[in-house]
Amino acid sequence: MQSVKVGVLGLGTVGSGTVNVLSRNLQEITGRAGRDIEITRAAVRDLASKTACDTSNIAVTDNAMDIVNDPEIQIIVELIGGTGIAFELVSKAIENGKHVVTANKALIALHGNELFAKAQEKGVTIAFEAAVAGGIPIIKAMREGLAANRIEWLAGIINGTGNFILTEMRDKERDFSDVLEEAQALGYAEADPTFDVEGIDAAHKLTIMASIAFGIPLQFDKAFTEGISLISQEDVKYAGELGYRIKHLGISKKTDKGIELRVHPTLIPHRRLIANVDGVMNAVLIQADAVGPTLYYGAGAGSDATASAVVADIIDIVRALTTDPENRVPHLAFQPDALTDTPILPISEVVTSYYLRVHTEDKPGVLADITRILAEQGISIEAILQKEPEVAGGIIPVIMLTQEIVEKNMDAAITQIEALQSVNDSVMRIRIESLG
């Protein structure tokens, strides 16, 4: 039988890894796929730049569209990233009847609905395991392994850069900006690191996971994102004193009112396994009705780790080449006509408990004012910690953990607390999840 010919668009970190993993494990891969798989063509931006893989058997070009239009190529592997040229190339590949493998989370989160519809029309597959949590096979786990379950919620550490920063801040008492510079130097961060620290990268990945978990169309525009750039050393320390760790979590939950889709710093009890996922590692915790909680842990980025997911997708496509398109695993786990329009809940309607840190003047009655405002909004305090001022008459931090309350009431309370004369700066609010 003829080999399956693959064209790779982009030979950067993941592209080189894909070439390397495929050639290193060729025997196992061929045995699993049942066919020889050959990367015959690859596209790079600059033909003069060096690649981290052997391209001696690959025809390399700087014209990616040429590969997409090559009738010999059956599978296009898009590893360029972004939603510009990558969107054009993937759309054209589908139009040309080619299967697509991509690691491009933004492309799927923003244009997946349209691309999947096009792919279905053409009877081709778009595989995107590498777009979420790098090498962790989380798409496959949810779409196939958990297919018998009703998924209740999922929570993930799905940005390695953010997790590295928070881990260093906690373990080495380093400042946010200092650690971010190191993460950039180590090559973990996105080209625009605000995508990492402001939660946009995680929201792309969460949007994809939520669709697969709950059978809803991709709705990145409705995801709530809050970054970690305002997390200070003192919050990391107080959270620790209260038995919590701060993690940048992507959370999606199905509630009676709708689906929560939110990325924000979160306090998690330190004893939870996921609270101990440190450095650049990723993890996703899924609560499902039949199996209960399952936790998936591994490398969320990196050359070979992400290539592991890319190559697995290529193998899946090769195995299914002869199957009727109607009988393949659906892109978003549910058949396209079984997707529901369950609404995404606005963050103001989300119910959680909170960590609050207020800097106040050390005066009689301040605490009474704060607790009165909270009580008026129906917010019950679970724990309170007040520190002595560093200098007599100085500013004191008051830290409170609250019981669950709907976010709009907490917003109202925070506005009123910040308006108090004795309160010096913005109230720091971090949502708490017990993940129990």
Query: Quick one: 122 exposed, middle or buried, by C-beta within 10 A (0-12, 13-18, 19+)?
Result: middle
Stretch that binds ligand HSE, among 157-165, 290-298, 313-321, 395-403 (CB under 6 A): 157-165
Which one, 201 or 433, has the nearer CB to ligand HSE? Answer: 201
CA-based R_g, the chain, Å = 24
Q: Is 250 in the site for ligand HSE (CB under 6 A)?
A: no
Stretch that binds ligand HSE, among 108-116, 153-161, 247-255, 376-384 (CB under 6 A): 153-161
Q: How far is the CB of 182 from ligand HSE (least distance, A)?
A: 13
Which one, 280 or 417, has the nearer CB to ligand HSE? Answer: 280
User: 163 to 222, contacts with ligand HSE by CB under 6 A?
Assistant: 188-190, 196, 201
Token digits for 52? 């981290």
Sign of the four-CA dihedral 264, 265, 268, 272: positive
DSSP state letter for 344: B
In one letter, which amino acid is 419? A
122 catalytic? Reply is no
Q: Is 313 in the site for ligand HSE (CB under 6 A)?
A: no
Q: Is 136 in the site for ligand HSE (CB under 6 A)?
A: no
Nearest-angstrom CA–CA distance, 25 and 315: 12
Q: Which residues contact 271 (CB under 8 A, 6 or more apart)?
A: 243
DSSP state letter for 217: -
User: 276 to 305, contacts with ligand HSE by CB under 6 A?
Assistant: 300-301
Using the CB atoms, write b or e for 299-334: b if 16+ within 10 Å: bbbbbbbbbbbbbbbbbbbbebeeeeeeeeebbbbb
Q: Is 129 in the site for ligand HSE (CB under 6 A)?
A: no
Q: How far is the CB of 137 from ligand HSE (least distance, A)?
A: 15
Give yes or no for a contact between 231 and 169, defined as CB atoms under 8 angstroms apart.
Answer: yes
Stretch that binds ligand HSE, among 78-86, 159-167, 332-340, 413-421 (CB under 6 A): 159-167
Q: Which residues contact 151 (CB under 8 A, 6 or more apart)?
A: 142, 213, 214, 254, 286, 287, 288, 289
Of 105, 205, 222, 254, the catalytic one is 205
- With CB under 6 A as the contact rule, the residue among 15, 134, 137, 397 that binds ligand HSE is 134
Q: Is 159 in the site for ligand HSE (CB under 6 A)?
A: yes
Q: How far is the CB of 184 from ligand HSE (least distance, A)?
A: 10
SS3 category, 270 = coil
Residues in touch with ligand HSE (CB under 6 A): 134, 159-161, 188-190, 196, 201, 300-301
Residues with a catalytic annotation lie at 205
